[in-house]
Structure 1
């Protein structure tokens, strides 16, 4: 089945997306109209978030971190996200990793 991938970070102001140290949501839309979402985090971004939380007091001062539909990657680039999505579809794990979106809650603008 054909699909397209929308990546939130591609909507950011140019220069704000650091593929080595960021996180971004990705929505996969299949030709049947179904949409699925996951959040891609780089390993470096996890450390950055933990360090920030230690300073701000969030998440018990950095003692834990969670994200819904979290996928950890070495880099948060379109190429890597496409590669992971393709692999998850081929391996049959896509619906385990991604969550189906409710249509009324999606704003891709």
Structure 2
């Protein structure tokens, strides 16, 4: 059993304007604060959004015309809802994969987000 305990899960899309978040076709940043005070980040992306992006890029020419997709600390999920993100993080902890899938960051509490809810650069 893991000794890793979650204090808070912050999802940037929860701070977007109403109607902008489409969990089944979205990419969102997640910040996990553990009880020990450490903070971890990842980008979650729905499988459908990968298709949306690569289709768009096939027309624009980006990423070799949609032939590849990458994001740092990417976790692919069926959807980006809070429920799916929470279940995913708990499963990563339970399986000892949390520290591999997430990146540890060093932010002060007042640096977590700006007025639009986006993470600030540290």
Q: Specify the TM-score bucket, using the shorter chain as the normaliser.
A: over 0.9
Consecutive unaligned residues in structure 1, runs of 5 or more = none
Q: State whether structure 2 residue 106 is matched by structure 1 residue 71.
A: no
Match of 1:16 in 2: 20
Whole-Å separation in 1 of the counterparts to 2:43 and 2:52: 16
Whole-Å separation in 1 of the counterparts to 2:91 and 2:39: 17
Instruction: Provide Cα deviations, 1:59-83, integer angstroms capped at 9, x if missing partner.
Output: 1111111111111111110000000
* Match of residue 90, structure 2, among 56, 76, 86: 86
Q: State whether structure 2 residue 57 is matched by structure 1 residue 53.
A: yes
TM-score relative to the length of structure 1: 0.92
Q: Sort the Cα spacing of 1:64 and 1:2 in 2 relative to 1 into closer, same or farther, 3 A.
A: closer
Contact residue 41 and residue 73 of structure 2 kept, 8 A: yes
Cα shift at 1:41:
0.5
* Match of residue 9, structure 2, among 5, 8, 28: 5
Once superposed, which parts of structure 1, at least 4 consecutive aligned residues long, lie more than 6 Å away?
A: none
Q: State whether structure 2 residue 112 is matched by structure 1 residue 107.
A: yes
Aligned CA-pair RMSD: 1.2
Whole-Å separation in 1 of the counterparts to 2:23 and 2:112: 23
TM-score relative to the length of structure 2: 0.83
